[in-house]
Amino acid sequence: MITTSANHGMATAQPALVVAEEPEVHTLSGRLLFRKSVPELHRNQHNGLVWADKNHILIGGTGTSSVRAISVDITSGRILTGDNRYFGMLSPDRRLVAGVATIGRSVALRVSRLDGSHVQTLARRAPCPRSH
């Protein structure tokens, strides 16, 4: 079971968790607000759960390659493809994400908005030589 909580402008933080194949959202007192079976989610397959905003939870590490994320809208129940950037190194205000990218023959430390826009390269280095 993976749990997370958020306070995105709500009066109280709402804990979210995944039990078996079903994401759930509860009030702090424990009342169930949302539960939905997610066909793409299999027991012990996921590896992350975060709030994207006040209406969406993201579950990472789903699918056969374990790199796919799914988004669940807790107001409508819609299931969409999620964004793995939410599982990266986020800034304290959750507006930016840092990551490492291979560019040509070098490795770069980059920062961008969560939607992938406004990419800034902070540092660029040649990869470490492989030892044999």
Same domain, yes or no: 81 and 112: no
Same domain, yes or no: 10 and 75: yes
First vs last Cα of the chain: how many Å apart?
Answer: 41
Q: Sign of dihedral through CA atoms 65, 47, 34, 90? A: negative
Same domain, yes or no: 83 and 93: no
The residue whose two tokens read 């409508």 is: 76
Which tens digits make up the pLDDT trace of 46-58? 567 888 888 998 8
Same domain, yes or no: 68 and 98: no
The one-letter amino acid at 32:
L
Same domain, yes or no: 68 and 95: no
Is residue 102 included in any domain, yes or no? Answer: yes
Q: Sign of dihedral through CA atoms 114, 119, 121, 125? A: positive
Residue 66's pLDDT is 53
Same domain, yes or no: 64 and 100: no
Which tens digits make up the pLDDT trace of 102-125? 888 899 999 999 888 999 999 999
Print the domain residue range for 117. 89-125
Residue 73's pLDDT is 92
Q: How far is CA 33 from the centre of its chain?
A: 21
